[in-house]
Structure 1
Amino acid sequence: MFLQQAYTPKLGLDLAGGTTVTLSPVTQNNAAPPEEILDRAVNIIRDRVNGTGISDAEVAKSGDNIIISIPGVGQSEAVKLVATTAELRFRQVLAMEPTQIPQEMATNAPTPSASPSASATGSAKPSSSQSATTPAPSASPTGKALSSALTAASPAPSPSATQDGGQQDGKKDQDAKKGQDAKSTPTPTGETSPPPQQDPNAGVNTEGIDPAVLAQYNKLDCADPKNRGQGVQDDPNKQFAGCETDGSFKYVLDVAKVVGTDINTASAGVQQGTTEWVVQLDFKSKGAGEWSKLTTTAYNSPEPRNKVAVVLDGVVITAPNIISPIPGGRAEITGGFDQISATNLADQLKYGALPLKFNRSSIETVSSTLGQDQLQGGLISGVIGLALVVLYSLFYYRGLGIVAVLSLVVATVITYTSVVVLGHNAGFRLSLPHIIGLVVSIGITADSFIVYFERIRDEMKEGRRSLRAAVEVAWVRARRTILIADAVMFIAAIVLYFLAVGGVAGFAFAMGLTTLIDVVVVFLFTKPFIAMLARVRFFAKGHPLSGLDAERMSEAGSGGRTTTPQEA
């Protein structure tokens, strides 16, 4: 807490307000979306904004709209996250060519080494950067970072490049001469015939390409930023024409053989041996098999069909060459990420793709629904409950009550620290249900040391054991009862946490957290502290104010209690 300079907990929606985003679905013909699709979208968005279940974010349907309430003001990254489709697709490249970008755009365009790229393994090595307008022959067509499983740099195709490679230059000269001859060839009527129109697909292997997609590819202008914006809903079952993120290349892509739903998990981290942030993907069993087939097909195909494009929301992130089939079901997106952007992308992929496209119809800042007075009321109730337990412990256990008080103080400090640290690292926000769970935990902690104290008394009755011996024997028997009681409470908290949402899940989380803290305090503080006090004469000799005097224990043991130790 001190290292992070975080000293106060973050507050939830009901105590501090936040941001409300209303999403309206976009469907074909403006038809109402199916109910099951909306439910799926709600679950995905809930996972995205409240993936851990402790950030106090709320997601609910209102008619065909989805309303998301996010704690805190200015949650711009979360607002962007909830409406992004974030569907990742892996498609084989069928055709590609560089795009002529205006000079002013090329000047301002990011260098390829700073833009995202993908690899199939965890060891990516950056390739040499290239101009966005004229790819160097020694650079990869995508100019991206490739792994050892991908090809070395290959010549980038020119706008009229074909699989015949070097034969194109000779053909260009011949075509130019034919064009000149055509211009000067008179018709029988004496008129000069118009020059033949240049075929836009000259030199392109169009085999297997849908004519409609090919026509779209010919018209596609990747210099226009509108064609490079994410959020495009590309059908994974159809071929697709799209642009690269920086507009340097345009592609015809085959149907998606691996899609975002085939991803098992995604995580952000620093690439081994570098300081570069990457997004690592692990595929499900079916996705791993399809990924292996896709890379095998690309490996056995000629240029440029030996490439696999990584497409996110209709934009090609990278299209690396495949130089060998890649089994194992792992992939990696690298290049140009910082911690925030890598984490956001990993969250989008991990929590799934939205089944619909949504427009943000409204974004509003809302005030707290309860306010500071309710927060103070909850804290005051906790202080009153804590004070009553302390007074009762001192009255009934006298000297042993000091152990109870200090145990509660230690538990309170650990709980507060946990709330603050979780708030600054895991998005935990303290709401009224959380406060209720923390207040209830006071009784859980008190139960634990009461069980232990009563076991010690049972062992010391009628002078059968010394205090030092009673402390150890009582602990062996009491800890079983403590663990069973805490286990029952923790299981209840887990079940409630996973079956409930919103405030109820927050209450369950707080209760489960404090139950774990109770086990830590009893084992690492309460028991060792009592063992230390057993060496102090005041307690060992049974002083009347120690709570372990023979007269007091005999009073506690009256009512027909036998001398046989009883389980607490």
Structure 2
Amino acid sequence: MLLALILALGGTMFLQKAYTPKLGLDLAGGTTVTLSPVTQNNAAPPDEILDRAVSIIRDRVNGTGISDAEVAKSGDNIIISIPGVGQSEAIKLVATTAELRFRQVLAMAATQLPQELATNAPTPSASPSGSASPSASQSAGAPQTSAQPSASPTGKALSSALTAPTPAPSGSAEPSEQPSRGQGGSQKDAPKNQDAKNQDAKNQDAKATPSPSPTGQSGTPSPEELGIDTTGIDPAVLEQFNKLDCSDPANRGQGVQDDPNKQYAACETDGSFKYVLDVAKVVGTDIDTASAGVRQGTVEWVVQLDFKSKGASEWSKLTTEAFNSPEPRNKVAVVLDGVVITAPNIISPIPGGRAEITGGFDQASATTLADQLKYGALPLKFNRSSVDTVSSTLGQDQLLGGLIAGLIGLVLVVVYCLLYYRGLGIVAVLSLVVATIITYTSVVVLGHNAGFRLSLPHIIGLVVSIGITADSFIVYFERIRDEMKEGRRTLRAAVEVAWVRARRTILIADAVMFIAAIVLYFLAVGGVAGFAFAMGLTTLIDIVVVFLFTKPFIALLARVKFFAKGHPLSGLDAERMSETHTGRTTTPQEA
């Protein structure tokens, strides 16, 4: 098992072509980002809000506590130091607010022709045959037509209960609009009137000059004329919806903090659709956990969400309400920082408190979004006032000094074991070599897969672990010698009996050390947390080495005549093992 572990770690290193550990801020430098909060009237944000932002950012950049990133508050600004140069993804991660809302869609329109919704609106026909009028057949962007998807062409979904939009019947129209559009004219005259309207629309397109609408307003026709159901929609939001230009990248950029308690007009990320959205029924704080993964049976990366109990109940109500609503209100939009990233149809209520977000993610983008949602949304919007590359604060001299200190400590332990335990000292030396191999490969693999970066506190923790590991060997060796001094056991029997007694002591000592490391890791930050992590890691490695290498190796040596017969250089010779019992001296050979 030990060999399999070493081969697995070594194989991972070679497959990833990772042969050296990654270094932390103090040894390799990194990138420093200064974030300035954006508030109304440029007022100073409350300290408790800034403290919450610091906590969230620290979790985002150093969620595992082993990347050596540092986050500190400086006045009203937040300064973030990230190990490594050019950490663009990390910089983007920390500055994104990640405000997530789930909103029911109240109205939508395609924006392939920005601000020209009149040419996309279906015009109801009074034809008795029920066929669509010419303008209705060309209305590719209207909410009632089959050509309007609920999401971008990549195909987005929230769960297996979500799917692409259900096409509406061709040429369908709102019955309530027919009388108002057909007033004062017979059914026979309707095509003529419609042709005249179409000709007027073409003339307007050719001149590119909007003409007054029947409502007396200039510009885009009213939503009622477009066949949009305005029931329950705030008029101010409707006006915002009409004026919203999704071809402008500024209206599709994340970072907007929309009010979850108000209706909202928003664009999709690619600018292809714009929406009128209801108040947010489920928000980011209702999420319990978020993780990135591949949808079963596909190669598509998704973000999987688990809601808290309250969030699960609200999510079920929201999907049930959408399911029982007509197009396009049967859609639920996922809004991140004010931008719609997906708005699929709900084809059945979704109980159980689970959902998925898809949208053409790759592994990196899905993991980034999951981390943002898992660790929480920033309570403020921030601007990056500066991004600087910084050099290491300690450099190679201090790194070399730390490594030399560790080497000296290792040599002293080896010399002590060889002088005091003689032959048994070889077991200690080989055990330390095995522990060193496992520690080094673990540090390298963690560095390239979990963001672990070796800083000076980590090195100190690894050096201290040399003594912890050697202590376990000493406990076992002394137990063996105690059993031998009794004079009633052979070496092979003493090895087994001593192990039963020694392993309890070893486990208790390592458990105390590991508990101390855990407490220190969770209560501290920065370098102290790094020291605790290194100490906890080496404590686990010590248990692995003692159980899987030291004990089996000593049991094997007990069969060798050099140790079994008590050779003077074995460390188990008669001089060392002798003890007077009832007036005589016993030796291993006599036993």
The interval holding the TM-score normalised by the smaller chain is 0.7 to 0.9
User: How far has the Cα of 1:321 moved from its partner?
Assistant: 1.3
Q: Secondary structure at the match of 1:495?
A: helix
Separation (CA, whole Å) in 2 of partners of 1:503 and 1:162: 66
Whole-Å separation in 1 of the counterparts to 2:58 and 2:98: 15
Q: 1:45 aligned to 38, 57, 60, which one?
A: 57
Q: Deviations over 1:411-441 (max 9, x none)?
A: 1111111110000000000000000000000
Cα gap change, 1:157 to 1:260, in 2 (>3 Å): farther
Aligned pair in 2 of structure 1 residues 381, 138: CA closer, same or farther (>3 Å)?
A: same
Counterpart residue identity of residue 434, structure 1: H
Counterpart of 1:70 in structure 2 is: 82
Report the equivalent of 2:321: 297
Aligned twin of 2:530: 506
Superimposed CA distance per residue, residues 172-201 of structure 1 (whole angstroms, 9 cap, x where no aligned partner):
95864786999xxxxxxxxxx987347421
Q: Which amino acid aligns with 2:222?
A: P
Native 8 Å contact 2:150 2:345 kept in 1: no
Q: 1:490 aligns with which of 494, 503, 514?
A: 514
C-alpha separation in 2, matches of 1:177 and 1:195: 17
- Unaligned 5+ segments in structure 2 are 1-12, 116-138, 183-189, 201-210, 587-591
SS in 2 for 1:463: coil
Gaps of 5+ in 1: 104-130, 183-192, 564-568
Q: Does 1:261 align with 2:285?
A: yes
How far apart in 1 are the matches of 2:520 and 2:450?
A: 20
Percentage of matched positions with identical amino acids? 84
Correspondence for 2:156:
145
Name the TM-score, length of structure 1 as normaliser: 0.86
Residue 306 (str. 1) matches residue 330 (str. 2): yes
Residue 34 of structure 1: aligned partner: 46
* SS across alignment from 2:356: strand
CA–CA distance in 2 between the matches of 1:168 and 1:70? 66
For the 8 Å contact 1:141–1:156, the answer to whether it is kept is no
Contact 2:97–2:377, Cα closer than 8 Å, also in 1: yes
**1:346 corresponds to 2:370:** yes
Please give the alpha-carbon distance, in whole angstroms, between the structure 2 residues aligned to 1:248 and 1:508.
Answer: 50
Residue 578 of structure 2 aligns to a residue whose secondary structure is helix
Task: Write the letter of the residue equivalent to 2:418.
Answer: L
Which is further off, 306-315 or 508-517? 306-315
Q: Deviations over 1:320-377 (max 9, x none)?
A: 1112211011111123111111111111111110000000000000000001000000
Q: 1:448-494: per-residue Cα shift (whole Å, max 9, x none)?
A: 01000000001111531000000000000000000000000000000
What is the match of residue 408 of structure 1?
Answer: 432
Partner residue of 1:329? Answer: 353
User: Matched residue of 2:167: which SS?
Assistant: coil
For 1:251, the equivalent position in structure 2 comes to 275
In the other structure, the counterpart of 2:223 is 201
Deviations 1:88-133 (A, max 9, x none): 1100111111113479xxxxxxxxxxxxxxxxxxxxxxxxxxx997
Per the alignment, residue 11 of structure 1 pairs with: 23
Given the two structures, how large is their TM-score scaled by the length of structure 2?
Answer: 0.83
Q: Does the CA contact (< 8 Å) of 1:94 and 1:304 recur in 2?
A: yes
Cα root mean square deviation, aligned? 2.9
Matched residue, 1:241: 265
Task: Evaluate the alpha carbon distance shift between residue 228 and residue 469 of structure 1 in structure 2; reply closer, same or farther with a 3 A threshold.
Answer: same
Q: CA deviation at 1:401?
A: 0.2
**What SS does the corresponding residue of 1:394 show, helix, strand or coil?**
helix
Distance 1:278 1:204 in 2: 32
The answer on 1:80 being equivalent to 2:95 is no
Q: Indicate the SS of the match to 1:415.
A: helix
CA apart distance, 1:248: 1.4
Contact map agreement 1:56 1:506 (CA 8 A) in 2: yes
Give runs of aligned pairs for residues 216-227 of structure 1, distance below 5 A.
Answer: 216-227=240-251
Q: By how many angstroms is 1:278 displaced?
A: 1.1
Tell me which of 1, 20, 32 is aligned to 2:32: 20
| DSSP-derived class of the 2:299 partner | coil
AA aligned to 2:88 is S
The DSSP-based 3-state class of the residue aligned with 2:340 is strand
Flag the 1:102–1:181 CA change in 2: closer, same or farther, 3 A.
Answer: closer
SS at 2:346's partner residue? Answer: coil
Which residue identity is paired with 1:137?
A: S
Structure 1 contact 9–419 (Cα < 8 Å) conserved = yes
Alignment of 1:43-442 (within 5 A): 43-101=55-113, 137=146, 140-142=149-151, 143=153, 144-146=155-157, 148-151=160-163, 153-155=165-167, 163=174, 176=194, 196=214, 197=216, 199-202=221-224, 203-442=227-466
Identify if the C-alpha distance between structure 1 residues 151 and 395 changes in structure 2 by more than 3 Å, giving closer, same or farther: closer
Distance 2:473 2:529 in 1: 28
Cα distance in 2 between the residues matched to 1:222 and 1:181 = 27
Q: Which amino acid aligns with 2:89?
A: E
SS at match of 1:265: strand
